[in-house]
């Protein structure tokens, strides 16, 4: 390709969604929830052809078996592709102390373990002013989520917050 020709394929190589493949991973799950939220194939910044699977799970309420589900989806993705898998959890629940970040078991000297990074949206309540001024598009999503949780059963207040957040988008 010469330098003046546009490379239309390049931007799409940054992250490719694997929705059909995701269904294969979650189809026979014995846990209550049968679908992982997102699965992507991404390339390293060095441009190497090596790829990594990123599994993102968004959990909006407490679930006792959540760590086990994270493990199941992680190993199924690895089993299907034989590629490294990064599992990430976004916790949108209201339990301050519920912060699952691992799954493991040991039996007869055999040990299995998965540790995964988590983001607790509730932690951002203390950073509201930073969220309001942030240029990160996820800031408004976090703000909307926090206000949705805070205004459960308070429809007039929720409507006011919706309009305030929408106006904020136009002001940026």
Mean pLDDT of successive 10-residue segments in the chain (172 residues)? 40 54 58 55 68 86 96 92 92 96 98 98 94 90 92 92 89 74
Residue 66 structural domain: 11-116
Domain count, the chain: 2
Q: What's the confidence (pLDDT) of residue 170?
A: 84
Residues 130 and 62 in one domain: no
Do 96 and 155 sit in the same domain of this protein?
no
Q: 67 and 17, same structural domain? A: yes
> How confident is the model at residue 22, as a pLDDT?
59
* DSSP string for 92-118: --S-TT----EEEEEETTEEEEEE--E
**Calpha distance 47→75 (Å, rounded):** 26
Nearest one of 118, 32, 40 to 72, comparing CA atoms: 32
Q: Both 105 and 43 in a single domain? A: yes
Residue 38 is predicted with a pLDDT of: 66
- Quote the pLDDT of residue 168: 84
Residue 169 pLDDT = 84
Residue given tokens 């010469």 in the structure block = 2
Give the per-residue pLDDT at 24.
62
């Amino acid at each position: 390709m010469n330098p003046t020709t546009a490379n239309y394929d390049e931007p799409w190589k940054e992250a490719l969604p694997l929705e059909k493949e995701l269904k294969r991973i979650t189809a026979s799950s014995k846990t209550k929830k049968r679908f992982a939220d997102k699965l992507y194939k991404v390339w390293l910044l060095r441009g190497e052809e090596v790829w990594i699977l990123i599994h993102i799970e968004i959990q909006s309420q407490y679930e006792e078996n959540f760590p086990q589900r994270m493990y199941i989806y992680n190993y199924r993705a690895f089993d299907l592709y034989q590629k490294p898998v990064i599992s990430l959890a976004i916790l949108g629940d209201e339990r301050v102390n519920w912060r699952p970040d691992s799954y493991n078991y040991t039996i007869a000297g055999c040990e299995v373990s998965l540790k995964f990074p988590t983001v607790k949206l509730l932690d951002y309540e203390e950073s509201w002013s930073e969220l309001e001024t942030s240029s990160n598009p996820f800031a408004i999503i976090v703000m909307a989520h926090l206000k949705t949780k805070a205004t459960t059963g308070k429809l007039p207040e929720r409507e006011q917050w919706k309009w305030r957040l929408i106006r904020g988008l136009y002001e940026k």
